[in-house]
Chains A and B, each alone.
Chain A
Amino acid sequence: GQQVMQIPQYQHVQEGEDFTTYCNSSTTLSNIQWYKQRPGGHPVFLIQLVKSGEVKKQKRLTFQFGEAKKNSSLHITATQTTDVGTYFCVGEYGNKLVFGAGTILRVKS
């Protein structure tokens, strides 16, 4: 079945450093969504990418969707302590959504 592999599983960065998490699918995605879950909280929708090669920005966050619509990345520039949490990608295959396992981000101040 469809799987979305997300790496890395954990990332500890010094405040001010950049952070990137990657998602890969073996088959073409209809779209990909990104969510953030703060410790003890619930996943919150960040963005959706639909078009091949799409790049979207939200302040310090940059989201990319690969040309083949099989991979995606989330890049955070100059991390802050407020960025801590788990970042999930969710791949959509037609009507089916598959969650990546998530990347846990810890920021040392």
Chain B
Amino acid sequence: NAGVTQTPKFRVLKTGQSMTLLCAQDMNHEYMYWYRQDPGMGLRLIHYSVGEGTTAKGEVPDGYNVSRLKKQNFLLGLESAAPSQTSVYFCASRNGPPYGYTFGSGTRLTVV
């Protein structure tokens, strides 16, 4: 009964380093999302996927890439981290409209 699992939970990167955040869901959901949450900004959509092999840009996609090679996994990549990418990242999944999201517990990323 894991739901949505995000790894890692915490990470500190130096400017220019790269990393991949992994999101895995065991609910057979079609739709998966990556959000970032910053103080006073609410949740902003980075990228999303409506099914295996598909991805689309959200509200703030610059500096990020994603892949959905398997239905249960959605990866978020930062090729060259910048301090502006310091944030809490949440992955979410759902079975498409009109169903609600299930969120992962988040990844707190600091870029120094």
Given A42-B90, A42-B103: A30 touches B43 (CB 8 Å cut-off)? no
Between A90, A97, A101, the greatest number of chain B beta carbons within 10 A of the residue's beta carbon is seen for: A97
Q: Are A100 and B42 in contact (CB under 8 A)?
A: yes
Compute how far the CA of A31 lies from the CA of B98 in the bound complex, rounded to whole angstroms: 7
Q: Which residues of A contact B43 (CB under 8 A)?
A: 43, 88, 99
Provide the main secondary structure of the chain B interface. Answer: loop
Q: How large is the interface on A (under 10, 10 to 19, 20 to 34, 35 or more residues)?
A: 20 to 34
Bitwise, A26-67 to B at CB < 8 A (1) or not (0) is 000011010100000111110010100000000000000000
Q: Which residues of A contact B92 (CB under 8 A)?
A: 43
Closest chain B residue, CB of each to CB of A6: B42
Q: Are A43 and B42 in contact (CB under 8 A)?
A: no
Q: Which residues of A contact B45 (CB under 8 A)?
A: 97
Q: Are A43 and B90 in contact (CB under 8 A)?
A: yes
| B102 interface residue (CB < 8 Å to A) | yes
Write the residues of chain B forming the contact surface with A, with a CB cutoff of 8 angstroms.
40-45, 90, 92, 97-106
Q: 22 interchain pairs (CB within 8 A)?
A: A30-B98, A31-B97, A33-B101, A41-B105, A42-B104, A42-B105, A42-B106, A43-B43, A43-B92, A43-B101, A43-B103, A44-B103, A45-B100, A45-B101, A48-B99, A50-B98, A90-B101, A92-B98, A94-B97, A95-B97, A99-B42, A102-B42
